[in-house]
Amino acid sequence: MTSGQRSLVGMSMLAAGLLLVLAAAGIAWSGVQRWLAVSETRDALEMLRRDRVADARKLAAKASARVPDEVAPALLALDTADLDAVERIEAIAARGTSRADRETAHAAMALARVAKGKAAGFDLEGSADGRLLAAMAAANAGRDPGRLKPVDGEAPPHLNVLRAAHTVLLRRAWQAGKVSEVRAHAGALLLLRPRAPEAPLMHLLVGAGSALLPDAEAIKLCEAVKQEQEAAIRAVAALLPQRRAAIAARWPKAVEGLP
Amino acid sequence: MIPCQACGNQNPIGTRYCRRCGEKVHADQQQVMQAVQSTNDDLASRKWLERGRSALVIGAFLLVCALVLRYAVVPPMPSAEVPPVDAGPFIPAELPKVEAKAEAAAPAVKPALAR
Amino acid sequence: MIQALRTVLWFVVVTLLLVVAAVKLPEQLARAQVPAEFDDQSGLVPMTGVWLAPPPFAAGDVVAFRFGDGPDDVGFGVVRALPGEQVRLVGGELLVDDNEVNGWKDAGLYQGIHDVGPMTVPAGHLFVVSTNHRYDSLARGVIGPDQVLGKVRE
């Protein structure tokens, strides 16, 4: 090989080496971005568990900007009250490689629509999500949602679909004065998230609705409710006539005007 | 290299006698300059080859490191979760109209399992 | 000339290897859907003195899980219910799909209340019960997939 040829080969190798360095820098940068996004998504999930929804959404939005094709941060960043934003999730779900993530995105879209009083828009048959959303839609429309009995072989429900469905069905049963249904939905919400802000109210509904709990214990459960205490106690008194006397002794105004 | 006028053997610069036939090597100024130039080119090309090889090795090493970082070190993304929705208040806006004596207390269901 | 050929050949082989690695490695790693805490090769990781194994989990497995942000916020408990199963507390007993769970110890949570639930365990979550109930599902709710570190190996 002449010196000219040798120089040419050397320069080509140098150019190829530089290209490899550039490629390595690009891959490393995307790796670092992904790492940050994973960390932010995990933090957002932790915040959601602590009911810091707005902070979780902000953090997930940052993560989603780093990895725009990932379904997990995009869903956590989603403002479910904004149906236009919900529709945009479909494009991200279509790009997602995991079938489970796609199904979760569809469940999230369906839940957001049903919560806004619209049709689910997705066929979620064969999954508990579909059954829960149908019950939720029926309750919202004033129809009988039927019993929430699990079907063998169906895919398990998602946590927030379960929470939303129990919330809607609890409210409906409460309004209809169906104590056993109220206890069942409140018990499910209590077991799902015993540290949630609404947990003391659920504890009260489960406990006060049981004839085995003495009035003094029921009053203690009433005192533990901190959110909208007055309204909650009045609504419990309206639902449970057998507790009215005990409630009236402690909170006379709560039972005023009740039949 | 300086060629021997007798046998044509190529001798390195500075050689006074041919390494093959032993004849005295005569080199004019131009030949020496050409030989120096050729040696310089040779050295320069070897340097380029060396640089290229180093760049390729470093580039390949960095690429492998970057691939390991991206696909083996970075933890997997958590699985997607349905975000919470505002399902409305727990307490109904309209309270149930349950008569104080019309409906009995919730059935005292103390199950068989209860101790 | 031979040296030049050798250099070019070396260059081609390295490039081909890198291209194959760049294409195949992500596929292989995408298949290994295990938490990052696990060593892909052995499936084990030493942590707080115990060895953990990756999912899938079954009822009765002892699992380690995070319950907070801190490095020491790790709890251990027995998996009592899997996604889709119904959990219910009846008269101080824990029922999973209407079957009584043995080895369960009521620590007085929901005292005086004889019937709580039923609650369906959501997708990806576990219902985990530990001995003192401080950090388990009865005190903190179902354990999410991002919280579970793995099951304790015997």
Q: What is the pLDDT of residues B1-33, one digit of tens each?
A: 788 888 888 888 778 888 889 888 887 777 778
Subunit contact B75:C22, Cβ cutoff 8 A: no
Helix (H) or strand (E) holding C94: strand C93-96
- In degrees rounded to 5, what are phi and psi of residue C127? -100, 110
Q: Which strands, in side-by-side order, build the sheet including C93-96?
A: C99-100, C93-96, C86-90, C115-120
Subunit contact A34:B105, Cβ cutoff 8 A: no
pLDDT at B107 over 90: no
Say how many domains are in chain A: 1
DSSP code, position C142: P
Cα B23 to Cα A3, A225, B18, B19, C112, distances in angstroms: 29, 114, 5, 8, 118
The predicted pLDDT at position B6 comes to 86
pLDDT at B79 over 80: yes
The predicted pLDDT at position A144 comes to 78
Query: What mean pLDDT comes out for the span A167-185?
Result: 89
The answer to whether A25 contacts chain B (CB < 8 Å) is yes
* Ordered domains of chain C (ranges, CATH): 52-152 (2.10.109.10)
The answer to whether B101 contacts chain C (CB < 8 Å) is no
Alpha helices in B13-96 (DSSP H): 29-68
Residue A152 lies in a domain: yes
The answer to whether B63 contacts chain A (CB < 8 Å) is yes
Burial of C101 (0-12, 13-18, 19+ CB in 10 A): middle
Subunit contact C92:B60, Cβ cutoff 8 A: no
Cα–Cα distance for residue pair C108/C18, rounded to 1 Å: 61
**Which among A40, A28, A100 has a CA at the least distance from the CA of A64?**
A40
Residue A155 lies in a domain: yes
Q: Looking at A66-80, A150-164, A203-217, C94-108, which range is the least confident one?
A: C94-108
The predicted pLDDT at position C105 comes to 63
Q: Which amino acid is at A237?
A: A
Residue A171 lies in a domain: yes
Cα C82 to Cα A28, A166, B61, C109, distances in angstroms: 38, 20, 45, 21
pLDDT at C34 over 70: no
**A256 band by pLDDT with thresholds 50, 70 and 90:** confident
Smallest Cα distance from B24 to chain C, Å: 32
Lookup: tokens for A17: 């080496």
Cα B33 to Cα B37, B39, C134, distances in angstroms: 6, 10, 89
Q: Which domain holds residue A126?
A: 106-189
Cα–Cα distance for residue pair B7/B23, rounded to 1 Å: 9
DSSP code, position C68: S
Subunit contact C119:A193, Cβ cutoff 8 A: no
**Which among C137, C94, C133 has a CA at the least distance from the CA of A159?**
C137
Lookup: tokens for A243: 């507790």
Residue A185 lies in a domain: yes
A129-138, B43-52, B57-66: range with highest mean pLDDT: B57-66
What is the ipTM for the molecules in this complex?
Answer: 0.83
Secondary structure string (H, E, C) spanning chain A: CCHHHHHHHHHHHHHHHHHHHHHHHHHHHHHHHHHHHHHHHHHHHHHHHCCCHHHHHHHHHHHHHHCCCCHHHHHHCCCCCCHHHHHHHHHHHHHCCCHHHHHHHHHHHHHHHHHCCCCCCCCCCCEHHHHHHHHHHHHHCCCCCCCCCCCCCCECCCHHHHHHHHHHHHHHHHHHCCHHHHHHHHHHHHHHCCCCCCHHHHHHHHHHCCCCCCHHHHHHHHHHCCCCHHHHHHHHHHHCHHHHHHHHHHCHHHHCCCC
A84-98, A184-198, A240-254, C16-30: range with highest mean pLDDT: A184-198
Cα–Cα distance for residue pair B46/C3, rounded to 1 Å: 12
B1: chain A residues, CB-CB within 8 Å: none
For residue C118, is the peptide bond before it cis, meaning its omega torsion is within 30 degrees of 0?
Answer: yes
Query: Looking at chain C, which subunits does it touch, using at least 3 CB pairs closer than 8 Å as the criterion?
Result: A, B
Contact A23, B65 (CB under 8 A): no
Smallest Cα distance from A191 to chain C, Å: 6
Smallest Cα distance from C26 to chain B, Å: 6
Residue of C nearest to B113 (CA): C91
The predicted pLDDT at position C27 comes to 53
pLDDT at A58 over 90: yes
CB-nearest partner of B82 from A30, A111, A244: A111
Cα–Cα distance for residue pair A197/A33, rounded to 1 Å: 34
Residue A79 lies in a domain: no
Cα–Cα distance for residue pair B79/A73, rounded to 1 Å: 9
**Which residues 6+ apart lie within 8 Å of C126 measured at CB?**
C57, C63, C65, C79, C81, C82, C83, C137, C142, C143, C148
Query: Looking at chain B, which subunits does it touch, using at least 3 CB pairs closer than 8 Å as the criterion?
Result: A, C
Long-range contacts of A34-39 (CB under 8 A, 24+ apart): A34/A66, A34/A67, A34/B70, A34/B74, A34/B77, A35/B73, A35/B74, A35/B75, A36/A63, A36/A66, A37/A63, A37/A64, A37/A66, A37/A67, A37/A70, A37/A73, A37/B77, A38/A63, A38/B74, A38/B75, A38/B76, A38/B77, A38/B78
Q: How far is CA C33 from the centre of its chain?
A: 11
Residue of C nearest to B67 (CA): C22
pLDDT at A65 over 90: yes
Residue of C nearest to A160 (CA): C122
Q: Which amino acid is at C16?
A: L
**A236 band by pLDDT with thresholds 50, 70 and 90:** confident
Contact C91, C101 (CB under 8 A): no
Residue carrying the six token digits 């997705």: A122
Residue of A nearest to C19 (CA): A20
pLDDT tens digit string along C71-93?
778 888 889 899 989 998 887 78
Question: Which positions 107-136 of A are in contact with B (Cβ < 8 Å)?
Answer: 107-108, 111-112, 115, 136
pLDDT at C46 over 60: no
Question: Which positions 109-148 of C are in contact with B (Cβ < 8 Å)?
Answer: 114-115, 124, 144-146
Residue of A nearest to B87 (CA): A164
A206: chain C residues, CB-CB within 8 Å: 110, 113, 115-116
Residue A246 lies in a domain: no
Residue of B nearest to C33 (CA): B76
Residue A72 lies in a domain: no
Residue A113 lies in a domain: yes
CB-nearest partner of B77 from A72, A234, A242: A72
CB-nearest partner of C114 from B56, B75, B110: B110
For the entire predicted model, the pTM comes to 0.76
Subunit contact C91:B113, Cβ cutoff 8 A: yes
Quote the mean pLDDT of chain A: 86
**Which among A195, A172, C25, A196 has a CA at the least distance from the CA of A184?**
A172
CB-nearest partner of C113 from A156, A196, A206: A206
Pick among A101, A163, A192, A221 to test the C interface (most C CBs inside 10 A): A192
How many helices (H) and strands (E) chain C has is answered by 2, 10
